[in-house]
Amino acid sequence: MTSSTETLLKDDFADAVIEGLSQRRKVIPARYFYDRKGSELFEAITALPEYYPTRTETALLDAHAPEIGRIAGPGKVVVEFGSGSSMKTPVFVEAVRAAAYVPIDISADFLRDAAAGLSRALPDLDILPVAADFTKPIALPRSVEGRSMIGFFPGSTIGNLSHAAAVDLLRAFRITLGADPWLAIGIDLRKNPRLIEAAYDDAAGVTAAFNLNLLARVNRELGGDIPLDAFEHHAVWNDDLGRIEMHLAATRDVRFHAAGETFFLRDGETIHTENSHKYMIEETRLLARAAGWQPIRYWTDARDLFSLHLWRG
C-alpha cells in the first residue's frame, strides 16, 4: 500500500472514532476490528467450540459447492467480496470450476495475502485482484468484462449490516457482476438466543479480546490513552431487531483522549461495536428480492444453524 493510501485510511479511522464517540449512544463501526491483531483474533474465534458459523458454513460449502457449480454452469469468473485469508475460497473456486478469480478488498495487504494463498493452492488459476470499496458498484478488470460472473460472499458478513444497508450492498453486487450475475452467499440463521450469545461470548475470552482490541487499536494508531481495564466485553441478543450486539461497557466513570479529542463515559455506558443480524429463511428470500435477486436454491445443516444460498440476478 502506498503511504498516501495509508494516511487516508488512518484519517478515515480517526474520523470514524471522533464521530462515533461524539454521539450520545457511542459507537465504533465493526469494520475497524480487522487490523493485524484483530484479524488474528478473528481467526482464533473461527476455531472456538462455541463459534458455530465457520465450521457449519465450511461443511455446507464442501457438501454443496459442486452443485452450485452445476446449476450456475462451469467457467464462471468468481468475484469474492472482501477477501480475508479464507480457507473457504479454494474449495469454492475449485468446486465451481472457475475460469478466473477476482478478489476485491479495500485493504491491499489482505488482497496480497489472499492472492498469494490462492495461487499456491491453485497455481493455474487466473487471479485478478481489485483494491476497491465494494459497497458501491465498481468496474472490474477489462479482461473479465462481458464474462459470466458469480459473486462469493461467505461468512455471514452481510449480518453486520442493517437490513436497509444489506439491500443496498446486495444491489451494488448485482450491478458490479454484469449482465448475468449469480451470487453464492452465506447467511447465519435465527436460533436459540443462548446459543448465539455463547458464540459471541466464549468461555476462553477470545471474543472479549477481539472486542477490546478495538480500543487498543485506537491507542496504538490514534495516540489514545484509553485505560483498557475500565472496559468489559458485552454480547447481548436484541430480539426485536434479530441481532446479537457487541458492546464495550465502562466499568467506572472514565475520561480519555484519542485522535486529538477528549471523551468521557459514565460507569455502565457502552460503546456499541458490532451488530450481527440473524435471519429466518423467509427473511433471506425477502432480502434477495428487495435487492433484485431471485432465490434459486439454499442449503442448511441438520441443526438449521447456518444457510448457504444461490441467487441469480
> Nearer Cβ to ligand AVJ, position 61 or 98?
61
Rounded distance between C-alpha atoms, residue 196 and residue 276, angstroms: 10
Phi and psi, residue 179, nearest 5°: -80, -25
Query: Which positions ≥6 away from 125 have C-beta within 8 Å?
Result: 93, 98, 100, 101, 118, 119
Rounded distance between C-alpha atoms, residue 12 and residue 266, angstroms: 26
Rounded distance between C-alpha atoms, residue 263 and residue 249, angstroms: 14
> Nearer Cβ to ligand AVJ, position 105 or 274?
274
- DSSP 3-state assignment of 254? strand
> Nearer Cβ to ligand AVJ, position 72 or 111?
111
Rounded least distance, CB 236 to ligand AVJ, Å:
13
> Nearer Cβ to ligand AVJ, position 71 or 165?
165
Q: Are 308 and 298 in contact (CB under 8 A)?
A: yes
Rounded least distance, CB 154 to ligand AVJ, Å:
9
DSSP state, residue 106 = S
DSSP state, residue 150 = E
Burial environment of residue 133 by CB neighbours within 10 A (0 to 12, 13 to 18, 19 or more): exposed
Rounded least distance, CB 186 to ligand AVJ, Å:
9
Sheet of 270-277, strand order: 26-27, 270-277, 243-250, 231-238
Rounded least distance, CB 207 to ligand AVJ, Å:
5
Rounded least distance, CB 124 to ligand AVJ, Å:
30
Rounded least distance, CB 142 to ligand AVJ, Å:
32
> Nearer Cβ to ligand AVJ, position 38 or 69?
38
* Interacting residues with ligand AVJ (CB under 6 A): 45, 53, 155-157, 159-160, 200, 207, 274, 276
Q: Which residue is nearest to ligand AVJ (CB)?
A: 276
> Nearer Cβ to ligand AVJ, position 176 or 211?
211
Rounded distance between C-alpha atoms, residue 248 and residue 270, angstroms: 5
Rounded least distance, CB 298 to ligand AVJ, Å:
18
> Nearer Cβ to ligand AVJ, position 89 or 207?
207
Q: Is 304 left (phi over 0), alpha (psi -120 to 50) or beta?
A: left
